[in-house]
Structure 1
């Protein structure tokens, strides 16, 4: 990637920048540091327009060759036509440089003040002007045909055309200095006003436009980026509360790379990059002064029958997300009746119109989903059988029983007695997650004691632990997640041992680790998508894993994630296939 700045030409190779500047003591250096225009032609040549001439970059020597006759010209725009001629604008004048013959000439027939040059898909050359016209060049006659495109109903001061873009179907998208965005039909000569004003009723000043696809164009303006998609126009602007918004509203340049990512050059905010893959991830994060999620350390996620997501955080209480509107409601402890007992939330479970809320060392809250008030609180050792107040996770069995995983034992809830009791016969250890498989067996992950499997109707249990020098044993004794896929295979994530697939017949495990392509051996939540692929969160990104082919794709913050670090047991799949991860 090449970037022109006031302080030289910058080359970015994906890892680091190299800057080319003028050096009077070094022949072949860039002739001027102020770069206005860059153009990469069909012959893979880079042309650099500066405040003092056009330079051709020679990649073999990393030197620059000046285009003779342009040394004293300020270059505003550069394009090459289908005949291999270089067209450029210099302070309102139009020039052609015939590359093959090295002949430079100023077009005398261009009796207008040029602002930009565009080469259309059919090879025709069009010039935009300060007089508010599109000028179509006739190769045979060497003359221009003028098309006035500005509105005569508005004041004409500063009413120039800044740029033009071929969008297909014989239509040209037009950017102006104070009349916004227009569309010109080459067949009829008719100009349609698309968008003239910003939401604050100020006029839109267009700097540049690019074609992203047949149906989508991005427009750089002094008031952010406008995205035109069919007949819909969306504005992207700086949002002080959103670190993922564009960094500055004064957008001077746009470029689409080979991976369909969009680069935006701003006046005050440097370079911005929008990955083409960002669109698959919607971000929810704390933002001051606007409606948003309250915390950033998201733990468990669940959904009620009214279509609301409930999201527990470890740093800022509970959140209700109304999916239809995208609006959040935040719940934090305030010491009043009906409020949460603590802001650090781990386990969540919906049961009979109630939300069960497991906290860090502050017991269990029961919230009524109609009133949104906590109506019951269980403190360990006070009128109940809980021996600890750190509730990590819940499981509601097929028969409707509620099980609790705590750091000191596994409990079952007695609805008639409204009490809790330890599940008899199980190890009195720290449990992390709990789930029921399709056969009715309960799988419980533990901290440092492997996985425990049992049947609530039977005595006894099976414990799978890591055994040194036995590669078919579970890979690590701290289990973060247990999941049964649609093929009824059990998968286990661990805190340093990667992924395990349980082999039912042999009652042992297949291990998948960083040696097999995982970005990390610290894995958390597993969710299966509609294509029977697994999405696995980790400490180094989100993994899309094919359980049959064993291949995977890893998504990171460079693909639009909030962070590469995910949290324990944080994920939820909605009925419509949407997947949420914390």
Structure 2
């Protein structure tokens, strides 16, 4: 692209692989995305710092906004929506949401907000966080008074008393979603470790401990690859791979191995088993089997480098969506497959021997006596 005074700009067509969902029509529509939930109506609900934005997935147009505070003097972030879930026990317009102020049921048709209550009928303390979906009926979460679980089938909340006695809610960051069927186990990310609580045996087991005891490092997200390695997205220690049975650390990927940031937010698996991750600085694709890393920044088409924790979803079409501080981005992982990228062969063009620069042609006989030493990461 040529300009009058600033020379020519290269605009790679590969940057068009990323599609942005952002609202510019309404000055009160916020674009700092904290949660993503696709609906059954080919729309997506985006939880923001000011309510929920609903976008049409086909046209990328803003369809509606909900729970939006239109007071220009309102405290910023006071109406943030951090989590959105559906359930087979709800109708298609009702969702379980967690906001700055409460955990409640919200109907996007009637605009009615109904706070959930304890089995006794009493209201919960207003500040709750870290909710996860364990089944169509089970939604455990953290509250300033301890750990609780919402039952969507009965529309009641019960206290997880055994867990609350063994683990401080104030030091707990979030509850991770289960990676498979689970009846009595809960997975909690704290400020220093990842722990598992078994309610039937009332036991708490440490799964992962961060190395630096002086840093707060939570596990933000996790996935299991096809080889059975459990990958943890941590807030300060990069991407960590542990054995899902023994919990022994097997791999670690940080800025030293090519990441743009050690603060990893969300992990999603595509249909080919590749790990896609959002971070504090850019996004990356990681092949967990062959240990191949590819990073993406603004030069590769991202509209912004900074993403948000909790904002990620796999769409029914196979596309992936991640939330950023300025809208959400979606893409088709198939457009990033190895077959779409030309791989260049490794050529040796320069060598130093005893501080003398020499240029070599890679002759067959010469290469037979050449020994290359590679350093791998673990």
In the superposition, the TM-score normalised over structure 1's length comes to 0.47
User: SS in structure 2 opposite 1:373?
Assistant: coil
State the Cα distance separating 1:504 from its structure 2 match. Answer: 2.8
Corresponding position: 1:373 with 2:111: yes
**Aligned ranges 1:90-239 → 2 under 5 Å:** none
State the Cα distance separating 1:571 from its structure 2 match. Answer: 0.7
2:370 is matched with which residue?
none
Please tell me whether the aligned partners of residues 433 and 480 of structure 1 are also in contact (alpha carbons under 8 angstroms): no
Q: Structure 1 residues 407, 301: closer, same or farther in 2, change over 3 A?
A: farther
CA-based RMSD: 3.3
1:312 is matched with which residue?
47
Distance 2:139 2:161 in 1: 15
1:296 is matched with which residue?
31
Distance 2:282 2:69 in 1: 35
Corresponding position: 1:394 with 2:132: yes
Q: 1:440 aligns with which of 179, 182, 207?
A: 182
State the Cα distance separating 1:301 from its structure 2 match. Answer: 0.7
User: SS in structure 2 opposite 1:493?
Assistant: strand
Distance 1:536 1:502 in 2: 17
Q: Structure 1 residues 433, 417: closer, same or farther in 2, change over 3 A?
A: closer
Q: Which runs of 5+ in 2 are unaligned?
A: 71-76, 324-378
State the Cα distance separating 1:431 from its structure 2 match. Answer: 3.0
Corresponding position: 1:413 with 2:147: no
Determine which structure has greater relative contact order: mean sequence separation of CA pairs < 8 Å that are 6+ residues apart, divided by chain length. 2
Corresponding position: 1:323 with 2:57: yes
Q: 2:202 aligns with which of 453, 459, 479?
A: 459
Range 489-498 or range 524-533, more displaced: 489-498
Q: Which runs of 5+ in 1 are unaligned?
A: 1-263, 336-340
Distance 1:356 1:512 in 2: 35
- Please give the per-residue CA displacement for 1:49-72, whole angstroms capped at 9, x wherever unaligned: xxxxxxxxxxxxxxxxxxxxxxxx
1:265 is matched with which residue?
2
- Please give the per-residue CA displacement for 1:401-432, whole angstroms capped at 9, x wherever unaligned: 22224466432114566332332322132232
The number of residues matched between the two structures is 305
Distance 2:36 2:254 in 1: 27
Q: 2:86 aligns with which of 350, 353, 375?
A: 350
State the Cα distance separating 1:457 from its structure 2 match. Answer: 4.5
State the Cα distance separating 1:334 from its structure 2 match. Answer: 4.7
2:22 is matched with which residue?
285
State the Cα distance separating 1:400 from its structure 2 match. Answer: 2.8
Distance 2:182 2:293 in 1: 30
Q: Which has the larger radius of gyration?
A: 1
User: SS in structure 2 opposite 1:412?
Assistant: strand
Please tell me whether the aligned partners of residues 137 and 152 of structure 2 are also in contact (alpha carbons under 8 angstroms): no
Q: Structure 1 residues 500, 387: closer, same or farther in 2, change over 3 A?
A: farther
Please tell me whether the aligned partners of residues 393 and 405 of structure 1 are also in contact (alpha carbons under 8 angstroms): yes
State the Cα distance separating 1:480 from its structure 2 match. Answer: 1.4
Distance 2:238 2:38 in 1: 29
Distance 2:229 2:186 in 1: 13
- Compare the two structures and name the one with the higher strand fraction: 1
In the superposition, the TM-score normalised over structure 2's length comes to 0.71
Q: Structure 1 residues 289, 469: closer, same or farther in 2, change over 3 A?
A: closer
